[in-house]
Amino acid sequence: MTLIDVKDYSVEIGRSLADRVPPLVKGASQVAVLYAAPVRGHADAVAEALRGAGHAVLPIEIPDAEAGKDISVAARCWDELGAAAFTRSDAVVGVGGGAVTDLAGFVAACWLRGVRVVQVPTSLLGMVDAAVGGKTGINTAAGKNLVGAFYPPAGVVCDLSTLDTLPEDDLRAGMAEVVKCGFIADPAILDLVEADPAAALDPRGTVLPELVERAVAVKARVVSADLRESGLREILNYGHTLGHAIERREQYRWKHGHAISVGLVYAAALGRLTGRLSPEVADRHRTVLELLGLPVTYPADAWPELHAAMRVDKKARGALLRFVVLDGLAEPGTLEGPSDELLVEAYQDVAGTSTGSGGRSLR
Ligand SMILES: NC(=O)c1ccc[n+]([C@@H]2O[C@H](COP(=O)([O-])OP(=O)(O)OC[C@H]3O[C@@H](n4cnc5c(N)ncnc54)[C@H](O)[C@@H]3O)[C@@H](O)[C@H]2O)c1
Ligand SMILES: O=C(O)C(=O)C[C@@H](O)[C@H](O)[C@H](O)COP(=O)(O)O
Ligand SMILES: [Zn+2]
């Protein structure tokens, strides 16, 4: 097992780790286990380990994927905690993909103004990103993750054996966030993917665990330095300004990682067109993502809707849009208040209508 420390807690990475959960909820009489139907088996294993350690378990099944990140679902969880007389010494455990861990963290952050939460991510994306770092929340009609709290977990248990049941499409989607970490901080990730994309996607091989560890290390370093996103943490949002707009336009039926994949190509185009990023590194975004079978294009006629949706991005300041861009490999920076002309030009890379502007500078 590998341990990666975040400021006040650790991320444990290994196989068959259900028994690592009980020590993290020590002192709790009751433990609510939140999960969605596709991971019921994994949640049962965690519940069994908790019962074995003497805890009373309150299983709460929530709707799958983005349908779970809804205020009505959070309210139902709070009703169940209330009915069970859940106290401040009790604990919540989220078992599932990023949607479950985001919701579980939010439920725990608000109940009695904060009870312990332990995250047990079962998707690749949950392990390398969603369950680590304390961003919790739900979606609203206005956009993605617009209501939430920074609420760090008491611990994160990444049981790699759960990935054996993860659908391949979701495994690929998680790789978008891994690749993001490669571009913003750890280019060895990109080298590993390019050397053998099939190995990178094999949950029983040795490459995927290394990618998980590297991506978690990037996230751990960043959130340890800036939990509340007052500066450095914004780099983890690389590719997300357009990505979240796509998710909203698709009414959350697109996988988060798929939307972020397209968003990464867009962010790379912004870097290239402002003369900050070389055409080679910008192109590398598309090639790495394509090697992993991830989407890199989106319809041209969607632009007006996407542009409007980007206005509620959390990095925006008033009417000023702000993007994370690269000044080189592993050199993230900020692009503030880009012109509409630049935004449209960059979108042509995504819409497949680019006229091949190469390294041309456009500010
Ligand atoms: N809080 C953060 O910092 C952060 C970071 C990145 C993403 N997110 C959020 O995470 C969500 C995306 O997470 P995701 O990609 O895990 O999607 P998801 O939670 O929707 O899971 C994808 C699908 O895989 C299923 N699944 C998960 N693990 C499984 C397993 N081991 N076996 C079988 N099926 C399994 C889920 O039930 C779901 O159907 C988005 O809501 C995104 O906004 C949050
Ligand atoms: O941890 C972060 O910070 C991130 O930005 C990680 C992202 O991958 C993640 O999707 C996050 O939920 C997006 O946050 P948001 O604040 O833009 O909603
Ligand atoms: Zn993300």
Q: Is 172 in the pocket of ligand 2 (CB under 6 A)?
A: no
Q: Is 135 in the pocket of ligand 1 (CB under 6 A)?
A: yes
Q: What domains are there in the chain, each with its CATH number? A: 2-165 (3.40.50.1970), 168-351 (1.20.1090.10)
- Residue 362 in this model has a pLDDT that exceeds 80: no
Q: Is 243 in the pocket of ligand 1 (CB under 6 A)?
A: no
Measured in residues, the chain has a length of 363
Report the 10 Å Cβ neighbour count for 308. 12
Chain centre distance of CA 64: 16
Q: What is the DSSP letter of 291?
A: H
Alpha helix (H) residue ranges in 84-154: 98-110, 124-125
User: Kind and range of the H or E element at 316?
Assistant: none
Alpha-carbon distances of 19 from 47, 51, 116, 254, 355, rounded to whole Å: 10, 11, 18, 34, 56
| Among 326, 337, 344, 234, CA closest to 279 | 326
- Ligand 1 centroid to Cα of residue 155, in Å, is 18
Task: For residues 325-341, give the mean pLDDT.
Answer: 98
Please list the residues that pair with 159 across neighbouring strands. Answer: 14
Q: Is 30 in the pocket of ligand 2 (CB under 6 A)?
A: no
Q: What is the pLDDT of residues 216-259, one digit of tens each?
A: 999 999 999 999 999 999 999 999 999 999 999 999 999 999 99
Residue type, 79: D
Instruction: Report the nearest-CA residue for atom 18 of ligand 2.
Output: 145
> Which of 166, 170, 223, 313 is the pocket-test mutation for ligand 1 (most atoms within 8 Å of CB)?
170
| Among 226, 231, 21, 74, CA closest to 135 | 226
| Among 294, 295, 298, 264, CA closest to 282 | 264
- Residue 309 in this model has a pLDDT that exceeds 70: yes
Query: Would the pTM of this model clear 0.90, i.e. be above it?
Result: yes
Q: Is 219 in the pocket of ligand 1 (CB under 6 A)?
A: no
Which ligand sits closest to the CA of 34? 1
- Residue 145 in this model has a pLDDT that exceeds 90: yes
Question: Using CA atoms, how far apart are residues 131 and 108, in angstroms rounded to an integer?
Answer: 13
Residue type, 56: A
Question: Using CA atoms, how far apart are residues 129 and 307, in angstroms rounded to an integer?
Answer: 26
Q: Is 12 in the pocket of ligand 1 (CB under 6 A)?
A: no
User: Kind and range of the H or E element at 182?
Assistant: helix 168-184
> What is the number of the ligand 1 atom nearest to the C-alpha of 144?
43
Q: What is the pLDDT of residues 170-207, one digit of tens each?
A: 999 999 999 999 999 999 999 999 999 999 999 999 99
Q: What phi, psi does 249 have (nearest 5°)?
A: -60, -35
| Among 91, 106, 95, 105, CA closest to 25 | 91
| Among 88, 93, 73, 83, CA closest to 23 | 93
100 is in an annotated binding site: yes
The band of 95, judged by pLDDT with boundaries at 50, 70 and 90, is: very high
144 is in an annotated binding site: yes
Structure tokens at 277: 């990023």
User: Kind and range of the H or E element at 222?
Assistant: helix 207-225
Question: Using CA atoms, how far apart are residues 212 and 339, in angstroms rounded to an integer?
Answer: 37
Whether the ipTM is more than 0.90: the answer is yes
Q: What is the pLDDT of residues 30-78, one digit of tens each?
A: 999 999 999 999 999 999 999 999 999 999 999 999 999 999 999 999 9
User: Kind and range of the H or E element at 135?
Assistant: strand 135-140
Structure tokens at 163: 């990935």
Task: For residues 160-166, give the mean pLDDT.
Answer: 98
**Over the range 272-286, which residues count as b (16 or more CB within 10 Å of their CB) and which as e?**
bbbebbeeebbebbb
Mean residue pLDDT of the chain comes to 96
The band of 142, judged by pLDDT with boundaries at 50, 70 and 90, is: confident
